Amino acid sequence: MKKSAFWLMTAAVLLGGCSSAEEPVADKTPPVKEQIQEESGPVLEASYFNEVKEIEGIQVIQNPENPMVLVNKAFALPSDYIPPDLVRPNVAYSFGDQDIEKSYMRKEAAAALEQLFAGAKEDGLFLFAVSGYRSYERQEEILAAGAAADGEAKALGSIAPPGMSEHQSGLAMDISSESNGFELNQEFEATAEGKWLKEHAHEYGFILRYPKGKEEITRYIYEPWHFRYVGKEAAAIIAENDWTLEEYFDNVKPAE
């Protein structure tokens, strides 16, 4: 990290129960007045930057409910963090109507996901949610299984260590299609649904979190199925500049 790390480490002040996800999206992430594009680069309200504390050698995020939270292999969510506003989006799931952990997202992201799926449907395409919120404990299980099958080094290329998964934030959703057998694989990029998402997701406040050609920056393999909610303003800037979320925070400046 360059500028992002500097602000994350030096800024002194940076900065519930389930309910229906069918309410209109109140895009708080962040409002136009707090995030503007200037000639020198985008400006973001200081409260949307990570506030971190080093714990046992790990940079642990202290404001995890920040909807712009940057979660990766450098910045981890607290092991006991559970988003307080998890809801189940009213969308189609690859596993049907099962009311299980991975069907949930944070309320604002869930409402935006509903609009994203509705937008695809208007264009004659049908998306399916595969995996949303994931607890710290569940991430431990997934990584352990991946390491047992392929070795830890290979597993870490596509599976986040516990605490370092965006899924724990409740702001990410893995998406697939019937045409792709509901699978999460790189072949999804060639489907009509995958192409539509790449082109239109930012219009609904989502970004393709781990794009092709940016593996050295994100430190994960290309994942055409993994979409992260950041709000329409940030998503538009990220899409326009072909940035990752890491690059966004390398270029964004805190508002004075």
Q: Name the residue ranges covered by the structural domains of the chain.
A: 84-244
pLDDT score, position 224 = 98
The Cα–Cα gap between 224 and 231 comes to 19
**6 has pLDDT over 50:** no
**5 has pLDDT over 50:** no
For 101-154, what is each residue's pLDDT tens digit?
Answer: 999 999 999 999 999 999 999 999 999 999 999 999 999 999 999 999 999 888
pLDDT score, position 21 = 43
pLDDT score, position 27 = 63
Instruction: Order across the sheet with 75-76: list the strands.
Output: 52-55, 58-61, 75-76
Task: State the chain's mean pLDDT as an integer.
Answer: 88
Percent of the chain topping pLDDT 90:
79
pLDDT score, position 256 = 77
For 170-197, what is each residue's pLDDT tens digit?
Answer: 999 999 999 999 999 999 999 999 999 9
Angle of the 192-200 helix axis to the 107-122 helix axis, nearest 10: 120
- Quickly state the pLDDT bin for 156 (edges 50, 70, 90): confident
Question: Which residues are the active-site residues?
Answer: 223
- Quickly state the pLDDT bin for 158 (edges 50, 70, 90): confident
**168 has pLDDT over 80:** yes
For 17-75, what is each residue's pLDDT tens digit?
Answer: 343 344 455 566 555 444 444 456 789 999 999 999 999 999 999 999 999 999 999 99
For 14-26, what is each residue's pLDDT tens digit?
Answer: 333 343 344 455 5
Looking from the CA of 45 toward its CB, the CA atoms found within 13 Å total 16
For 200-245, what is each residue's pLDDT tens digit?
Answer: 999 999 999 999 999 999 999 999 999 999 999 999 999 999 999 9
**2 has pLDDT over 50:** no
Question: 115-122, long-range: CB within 8 Å, 24+ apart, which pairs?
Answer: 115/25, 115/204, 116/200, 116/201, 116/204, 116/206, 117/91, 117/92, 119/200, 119/203, 119/204, 120/193, 120/196, 120/197, 120/200
pLDDT score, position 237 = 97
pLDDT score, position 218 = 96
| Residue in the structure block whose two tokens are 């192409």 | 195
- Report the DSSP beta bridge partners of residue 196: none
Which CATH architecture best describes the domain 84-244?
Answer: 2-Layer Sandwich (3.30)
